[in-house]
Amino acid sequence: MELTGDTRGWLPTGAMRWWLLGAVAVVVAASTALLVVLSWGASHRAEDRLLPGTAVADVEVGGLTASAASDRVASQLAAQLTRTVALEHDGRTWTTSLDELGATTDLDEVIDTALARLDDASVLALAQARVGSEAAVHHLDVQISLPDDAVELLVAGIAAEIDRDAVDAELDWVDGGAEAQASETGERLDKVAARELAGDLLSRDGDDPVTASLPVEVVEPDVATATAQVAAEAATAAVHGALDRPVTLELDERRWETTPRELQADPDTGVVLDAALATVRAAETSLGNTDVTTAIDLDATVDDLAVPLDVDEETLTAFVASIAGEVDVPARNADVGWNGSRPAVTPAQTGRALDREAATAGLAETLDEHHRGPATVELSSYDISPTVTSAAFQQVVVLHQSRREVELWRGGEVVRSWPVAVGTGGSPTPTGSFSVGAKRFEPTWVNPAPDRWGEDMPERIGPGPDNPLGVRALNWNRMGGGDTLIRFHGTPNEASIGEAASNGCVRMFNSDVIELYDLVPSGTRILSLG
């Protein structure tokens, strides 16, 4: 090539040549460094290494492969995940850890994020990381997460062991008196505060065990021991006061004393205990913070307590019967006997009886009144009239066996008399008091002794002249009732009259027995004398 013109203007001088040579050297060096940095970055990418200066969870992992970095950080996190967290209360300890509660971490995501820095890093960032510049330092945190309900379930389980209801003082009736069973305080875990406490302990940094006391509240009983003791004292006094209440039963000027206890009354102690406790608790409320054991009016409380008493009806009846035994006077019927010369009448006497039904009802009602003071039951009695008066003996039949004569007495005088035959020595006519029983008109005779003295006689003989009973018969009854088989009766054997000739009956002339039959009614007294 042929150059034309003046070329001296662009040709470098000596200084310029050196500048150019230096510039070329810088470019060459820069290019070389860039190639080295880029080659270094490519090498790290290929080996999944983290940039120098990278720290995960305060663990230096720069230059490590992702797997090695993950293992190193996981080892460091394991100490925190398994760190013991202890919650204490009253000598008991509940321990747990993040790991036990199912904690998880985002370590894999963080390592992936750290690797992504290499892909996104500029040449400058790569160069800074390669030379360990402060500008290349990068810290990443690892998040530890618990299941949403982990802490809540932990606290709920602890609460199930701690929570205890308060026990109210109670009353029992033991061996004749009320006894207070002591109250007990309860406990209740403050679950909200406990969840906050557990969450704080679990989230603390480090791997040293941590311990804290649980927030537990004391639960007071509704009925304190002191309250129940006052109620027990009141109930005991009320029951014994009711059992020992004097009860007087009065009739005219006579008195009988008793008590519900003597009548074996059974108090309903359950009702009394409930009422006593309710009364004392009401007083306690009205007194506010005042000590109920000293401020309550115990006597007034006792007076307000009703004591239901159950008394066995048989016991009441027996007690009333014992009073009746002192009050009752039986009525006495009039009677008649022989005084040696005439019938003598013993007059009737009116009796007296306690009204037992009214007495029992009045006593039972008094026992139901629930009062404390003495009580009086007014008794009543009534007269008992005799069933037989002197009028029954206006007319009396008197048999004088020795005289073989029967008399009819009326108004104290003999109005008629008739001769008779009486029983023989082997079958004597009985002596004593009897009454006229059935009166038989033209009776049929039935053989009373077919295997003895009547063995030669027919089984029966109807009315007629040969009838052994004659035309009339008046049966003798015992005084307590019942036929004696002895009769006043007529006879066809008139020759026997005046003799001891019968088998016990009293024989009369037929005309005489008809007269006696017509004059005396059934029930007329018979006095048979020897």
Which one of 44, 240, 400, 489 is the catalytic residue? Answer: 489
Using a 10 angstrom Cβ sphere, with 0-12 exposed, 13-18 middle and 19 or more buried, the burial of residue 420 is: buried
CA 510 to chain centroid: 84
Structure tokens at 3: 């150059």
* Crossing angle between the packed helical segments 191-203 and 150-162, to the nearest 10 degrees: 130
| Tokens (6 digits) for 220 | 């007071």
Residue 315 neighbours by CB distance under 10 Å:
13
Cβ atoms of residues 498 and 408 within 8 Å:
no
Beta bridge partners of 398: 407, 527
Q: How far apart are CA 410 and CA 412, in angstroms?
A: 5
Query: What is the total residue count of the chain?
Result: 530
- Measured from the Cβ of residue 136, the count of other Cβ atoms closer than 10 Å reads 21
Helix (H) or strand (E) holding 174: strand 170-174
Q: Which residue has the tokens 């747990």?
A: 96
Residue 37: Cβ-neighbour burial (10 angstroms; 0-12, 13-18, 19+): buried
Assess whether 505 carries a catalytic annotation: yes
Separation CA 60–CA 52 (nearest Å): 9
Active site residue 139: no
- In DSSP terms, 346 is beta-bridged to 335
**Active-site annotation, residues:** 489, 505
